[in-house]
Amino acid sequence: MSKFKEFQKALTKAKNVVVLTGAGVSAESGIPTFRDKNGLWRQYEFMDLATPEAFESNPALVWQFYQYRRIMASKAKPNASHYAITNLEQKLLSNNISFTLITQNIDELHKRANTKNIIEMHGSLFRFKNEFYEGFKEDGINVYSNYNLNICDVLTEKTCAPNISNDELINIDISKLPHDENGVLLRPAVVWFGEALDYEIMNEINSTLDKCDFLIIIGTSGVVYPAANFARLVQINYGVVSEFNLEPTSLSKSFDYFFQGKSGDLLPEAFDIQF
């Protein structure tokens, strides 16, 4: 008997399903997670560069880091986890069960795997915004989609490489970084530590979680707020919470279902539900 049987039975009884994903979902596409041993770019921990303070003190360094990740995400392909989530969305919708994917990832691999109802809560590598603007949800006068990898002469695959000797490091003048047509410095439209999430996105998330009766958490360490609190919000409303992760997290024991392993190995079978 499949180890997923009880989980699948409960899932088919749900009305409003929410999937929350983190970096672990993209690990099998070759994209390093934040808190594993590969989470280094040059000598920097990812976490030290994902802050407004880092951008303020050295915008060129932070731009190089994000341009490196833009190039890496563009080359990566969605993996079995991304496609299993897309299949789940289609199956649930055709059985009148609502589905929302909330992702903390900024690599757009879920979009490329064709999942439709996605909330990108931490923004996207493929959007830029005016450095003074707080929102990031919609393209507008301060937010710009940009899939071009040649964004400026100083941010190339070579100058943004993760392993580069001191001799190869180039000094980048701020004026050479991406600017908007009014001369305002642009930055990646992502949420750094200490920054608030886009107000409209947070509202959308809150109303989605309010209705949610079945939450599936995949590949996130669950230490970064506000996402770290989503399971609790669903549990308060007596919703079911399930988790798929390579390693148990601090909350795994409090969930209704926990499945340990690579999400690319687990999800295709787990989400193969029959109505």
DSSP lists the bridge partners of residue 44 as 41
Is the bond preceding residue 52 a cis peptide, omega within 30 degrees?
no
Check binding of 253 to ligand BJW (CB under 6 A): no
Check binding of 20 to ligand BJW (CB under 6 A): no
- Which member of 68, 215, 245, 270 binds ligand BJW (CB under 6 A)? 245
**Catalytic residue status for 122:** yes
Burial 102-123 (b: 16+ CB within 10 A, else e): bbbbbbbbbbbbebeebbbbbb
Kindly indicate which of the ranges 29-37, 91-99, 149-157, 177-185 contains the residues binding ligand BJW, using the contact rule CB under 6 A. 29-37
- Smallest separation (angstroms) from ligand BJW to the CB of 47: 6
- Which member of 84, 143, 186, 190 binds ligand BJW (CB under 6 A)? 190
- Smallest separation (angstroms) from ligand BJW to the CB of 94: 27
Kindly indicate which of the ranges 93-101, 109-117, 135-143, 186-194 contains the residues binding ligand BJW, using the contact rule CB under 6 A. 186-194
Check binding of 118 to ligand BJW (CB under 6 A): no
Check binding of 50 to ligand BJW (CB under 6 A): yes
Check binding of 172 to ligand BJW (CB under 6 A): no
Label residue 150 exposed, middle or buried (CB < 10 Å: 0-12, 13-18, 19+): exposed
Check binding of 226 to ligand BJW (CB under 6 A): yes
- Which member of 106, 212, 215, 231 binds ligand BJW (CB under 6 A)? 106
Check binding of 80 to ligand BJW (CB under 6 A): no
Check binding of 194 to ligand BJW (CB under 6 A): yes
97 vs 245, which CB is nearer to ligand BJW?
A: 245
Residues 270 and 8: beta-carbon distance below 8 Å: yes
- Residues within the interface to ligand BJW (CB under 6 A): 22-24, 27-28, 33-35, 50, 104, 106, 122, 190-196, 219-221, 223-226, 245-247, 249, 262-263
- Residue positions annotated with a catalytic role: 122
